[in-house]
Structure 1
Amino acid sequence: KMLRSAAPLLLRAAPRFPAHFSASLRFFPLHRRCSRGSVDGKREIARRNSNRSIASSSVGMASNNSPDAAPPTHSSTVTLSSGETIQISGAPTLSPSEFRNAIDSALFKQWLKNMQGSSGILTKEQMSLKQVHIQGVDMFGRGVGFLKFKADVFDNETGKKVPGIVFSRGQSVAVLIILESGGEDYVVLTEQVRVPVGRLILELPAGMLDDDGNDIVGTAIREVEEETGISLHVADMVNLTAFLDPSTGCRIFPSPGGCDEEISLFLYRGHVKQETITALHGKEMGLRDHGELIKVHVAPYRTLWHMTVDAKALAAIALYEMAQREGLLASSSG
């Protein structure tokens, strides 16, 4: 809803693309910590991508569909907008506070909201939600970072259960930074260790939103600063996903078969001297005392589509190219 209301504004007010990138961009040294009032280091990491090393507490992922699994020891109910009451259970490995944190979390509430929204699968009464089993929780400081649960959803016509295992991590942002120098367009990438896939990945600067999910553009700007040392301005940011049809929610879902993550993709374009490109490439960033090891890469934009496996980058390329073709982007020449 927020992005739908912001989309006309973004289309009416084309971003300013400064003649000299350095006029609107500052670099920060490696040891600098982003100042965010009362938000401490752990909260900083809480917004970051799933594989970053953080101070978290992980609890068991025992599923109740295993013949050897112990019966759930936690139980609660939630009432849907239809008035139907749904049973919520928790794995025995969860503590009472973890179970309560899970069902009270913004992640779980947003998932229920999506299920019952205008395009939700429960809205047209073709599907029914019978129960939810909370299997695991990852706490980021005092808040819930990730959830894993199993939802028993049935097709009302056939009576068959549909796949319902959910890894919940909520909203994220990523930024496509294109820098023109000497007649060549370059893109700024980060190289990070990605434990879930067991390899280093070249990807766009990105990160997770806080629980309230209200400051999407601000989060995008902060992530760029933390991961690359580049400071951008709100007026220069273009929300590429705002160009999508409003019926889509103006976000992309990279893995909807198992994860609820929804991503807003932004664009920044600017002009720099070649010395800036050289200074950026190979720069080491990240909160290293928290195990966050990031190396900045700068590559020609024309080669990006076949040098990265990052779905965020590939989706951003597609949206950027189509927006250019449709004349939705202002010229970056002046």
Structure 2
Amino acid sequence: MATTTLPDMYNSVPLTIPSHIRLTQDELLAFPAFKSWISRLTSSLQAENNPDGYRLQAMEVTNVVRFGSTKIGFVMLNAVVRDADNGMSLPGAVLLRGPSVGILPLLHPKNTPKDNLWAILTLQPRLPGATVSMAEIPAGMLDDHGSFVSAAAKEIEEEVGIVISEVKLINLSELALEGSSLLDKTGAKESVGLANAVPTGAEQANQKLDGLFSSAGLLDEILTYHAFVHEVEEGELNPWKGRLTGLRDKGERITLKLVKFDDLWKTTRDTKALCAWGLWKGLKEEGRLPY
């Protein structure tokens, strides 16, 4: 068991890493998901945002999962946060994994009405969901692609088999946030359950990562939703059904399922799909979709 302190910029909070966990403080501080989370939490606990005086008093790392032998994938920790009177504590279990992208792929048969849209769902095994055939929209963690836009384009290519120009991607999350009447006077996104995450690399220093929290009671994950419309000949819809895709060298075996866009909300238990569907619908009603 080793206890150190975080840097002054994070208020010198005591940090404990048990000896059985293969993780150093330097590795934790360099982990993009941790840097983003601790920066946003430190800001949120400032006096003007924190009328109850909640204060981060200590943290302990409880687990780490690596991708391969070196790269950190997930970090689980317990944060001790108490109010100004030290009489109330907040639930402190936190799973850090970083930002992700969700993509709503739509097919539009040429020479038909613009609202004649078909959504592409992927069917693939999801062990945490106790199923070998979860119907969902393509999604993935932001890793080495450099930005949400390029990550979204890569996911589309890997899971759906379409090579698409990034300029055709529609950032639903960003459009939904623009001009929202629920933002506070400073434009802070926390007031509507959104967050402006700290960029995960120097090359992204000027990028805003606006998105939705997938499960804010446990995960730091912020999902940014994109959509795109792919034009096809009307007779080309059937070949998309049951098509096999995915990266075999990553253990992916993905089958595609085609559903009418208007029926998407009742054909899946995937909340990512429902969020993307709802964002598209809301933006369309307000006439703010660039399609």
Q: TM-score, normalised by structure 1?
A: 0.71
- Which residue of structure 1 aligns with residue 204 of structure 2? none
SS at match of 1:222: helix
- Which residue of structure 2 aligns with residue 110 of structure 1? 36
> Shift of the alpha carbon at 1:157?
4.2
Identity %: 29
Quick check: 1:273 aligned with 2:201? no
Quick check: 1:130–1:152 contact (8 Å CA) kept in 2? yes
Q: Distance in 1 between matches of 2:262 and 2:160?
A: 21
Q: Deviations over 1:209-237 (max 9, x none)?
A: 026x8411000000010011111111111
> Shift of the alpha carbon at 1:123?
5.0
Quick check: 1:238–1:267 contact (8 Å CA) kept in 2? yes
> Shift of the alpha carbon at 1:283?
1.5
Quick check: 2:156–2:163 contact (8 Å CA) kept in 1? yes
Read off the aligned partner of 1:278 and give its amino acid letter. Answer: N
Identify which range, 164-173 or 107-116, moves more after superposition.
107-116
* Alignment partner of 1:225 out of 142, 151, 157: 157
Q: Distance in 2 between matches of 1:288 and 1:216?
A: 24
Quick check: 1:192 aligned with 2:192? no
Read off the aligned partner of 1:161 and give its amino acid letter. Answer: S
Q: Distance in 2 between matches of 1:254 and 1:157?
A: 31
Q: Residues 256, 299 of structure 1: CA spacing in aligned structure 2 closer, same or farther, 3 A cutoff?
A: same
Read off the aligned partner of 1:217 and give its amino acid letter. Answer: V
* Alignment partner of 2:6 out of 57, 68, 78: 78
Quick check: 1:90–1:133 contact (8 Å CA) kept in 2? yes
Q: Distance in 2 between matches of 1:122 and 1:163?
A: 19
* Alignment partner of 2:140 out of 184, 207, 224: 207
Q: Distance in 1 between matches of 2:41 and 2:119?
A: 37
Q: Residues 98, 116 of structure 1: CA spacing in aligned structure 2 closer, same or farther, 3 A cutoff?
A: closer
Identify which range, 259-268 or 86-95, moves more after superposition.
86-95
Q: Residues 99, 281 of structure 1: CA spacing in aligned structure 2 closer, same or farther, 3 A cutoff?
A: farther
* Alignment partner of 2:243 out of 283, 289, 306: 283
Q: Residues 327, 77 of structure 1: CA spacing in aligned structure 2 closer, same or farther, 3 A cutoff?
A: same
* Alignment partner of 2:91 out of 163, 177, 195: 163
> Shift of the alpha carbon at 1:260?
0.6
In the alignment, structure 1 segments of 5+ residues that lack a partner are 1-72
Q: Distance in 2 between matches of 1:155 and 1:263?
A: 29
Quick check: 1:254–1:262 contact (8 Å CA) kept in 2? yes
SS at match of 1:109: helix
Quick check: 1:98–1:137 contact (8 Å CA) kept in 2? no
Read off the aligned partner of 2:94 and give its amino acid letter. Answer: V
SS at match of 2:237: helix
> Shift of the alpha carbon at 1:290?
2.9
Q: TM-score, normalised by structure 2?
A: 0.81
SS at match of 1:305: helix
- Which residue of structure 2 aligns with residue 180 of structure 1? 108
Alignment root-mean-square deviation, CA: 2.0
> Shift of the alpha carbon at 1:98?
5.3
Alignment of 1:17-32 (within 5 A): none
Q: Distance in 2 between matches of 1:81 and 1:103?
A: 12
Identify which range, 196-205 or 97-106, moves more after superposition.
97-106
Q: Which runs of 4+ in 1 moved over 4 A?
A: 97-100
Q: How many pairs align?
A: 254
Read off the aligned partner of 2:83 and give its amino acid letter. Answer: D
